[in-house]
Structure 1
Amino acid sequence: MAVAYWVVVALLAVVYLYSGGKKVAQSRDRLRPMMAWVDDLPLGLIRTIGALELLGVVGLVVPPLTGVAPWLALVAAVGLVALQVGATTLHLASGGRGDLAQRRPARAGRARGLAGDGLALTVATNGVAARPTSSWSWVLPGRTLEA
């Protein structure tokens, strides 16, 4: 089990060190070819996301390696999962193309998001709102996909 943990951590570390390092160190113009969504977020938030990714790697590696507070690895893993949930939400809101600014609805009444278990998270021009739903569905501009 320890070998499996370190293999997974090594793979995650490579990905998050690369991604987080780019977000922290590079300009918006250098990030744009790889990450089209950078124009939709403030540069400070992009830098914060990168720093959190780097801290997540430290949290996955250092505590188990040193034996000091190994529970912090679990905290780091949960934090990285939360980052990925946010990234997925942004990706779905942009229609998968990273052009959220171009796909924003013209009116506040039109919205998009991911729905499930009787609650839909919708992103509209007036912010984030929740609305009840009866089944799993994706609510995107111009279409609704039922599961």
Structure 2
Amino acid sequence: MNIALWIVAGLLALLFLGAGAMKLTQPKAKLAASGLSWTEDFSDNTVKVIGGLEALAGLGLILPAALGILPVLTPLAATGLVLVMIGAAITHVRRKEYPVIAANVVLLVAAAFVAWGRFGPYAF
């Protein structure tokens, strides 16, 4: 189970580091044009904050546990991603973008799995 938790955490970390970096480095108009139309509903700063949270959570899924420095941050990062995915799903429901919600749910479940495992029976 520990290996499965590391694999899921690693995949989530890669995904959210990439997504966060994209939101931090690209202008909002370019993000909207590339398919992230939800950015039109938020200010530039809010999109950057979301990107920053995603990138920090991506780092938090791996670095604390791998370095042995405050490993409790790993399940906290996973819990933060659960909250981000809840917010994302709510945003897509409001915009009636129902197919995208499936991806939010998959990421939410994966992050919840890591949080459960690292807070619970497979803590560091």
**TM-score w.r.t. structure 1 length?**
0.63
Bigger relative CO (Cα 8 Å, ≥ 6 apart): 2
How many percent of aligned residue pairs carry the same amino acid?
A: 34
SS at match of 1:92: helix
Q: 1:60 maps to what in 2?
A: 61
SS at match of 2:81: helix
Runs of 5+ unmatched residues, structure 1: 98-147
Amino acid at match of 2:82: V
Q: 1:83 maps to what in 2?
A: 84
Q: 2:50 maps to what in 1?
A: 49
User: 1:2 Cα shift?
Assistant: 2.4
Amino acid at match of 2:26: Q
SS at match of 2:89: helix
The question of whether the paired residues in 1 share the 8 Å contact of 2:13 and 2:58 is answered with yes
User: 1:7 Cα shift?
Assistant: 0.8
Regions of 4+ moved over 6 Å: none
Q: Distance in 2 between matches of 1:76 and 1:35?
A: 23
Q: Distance in 2 between matches of 1:63 and 1:2?
A: 16
Q: 2:93 maps to what in 1?
A: 92
**Root mean square deviation of aligned Cα:** 1.2
Q: 2:31 maps to what in 1?
A: 31
What is the correspondence of 1:1-147 to structure 2 with a 5 Å cutoff?
1-32=1-32, 33-96=34-97
Residue-pair matches, total: 97
The question of whether the paired residues in 1 share the 8 Å contact of 2:24 and 2:52 is answered with yes
Q: Distance in 1 between matches of 2:83 and 2:9?
A: 17
In terms of Rg, which structure is larger? 1
Q: 1:115 maps to what in 2?
A: none
Q: Distance in 2 between matches of 1:18 and 1:67?
A: 24
**TM-score w.r.t. structure 2 length?**
0.74
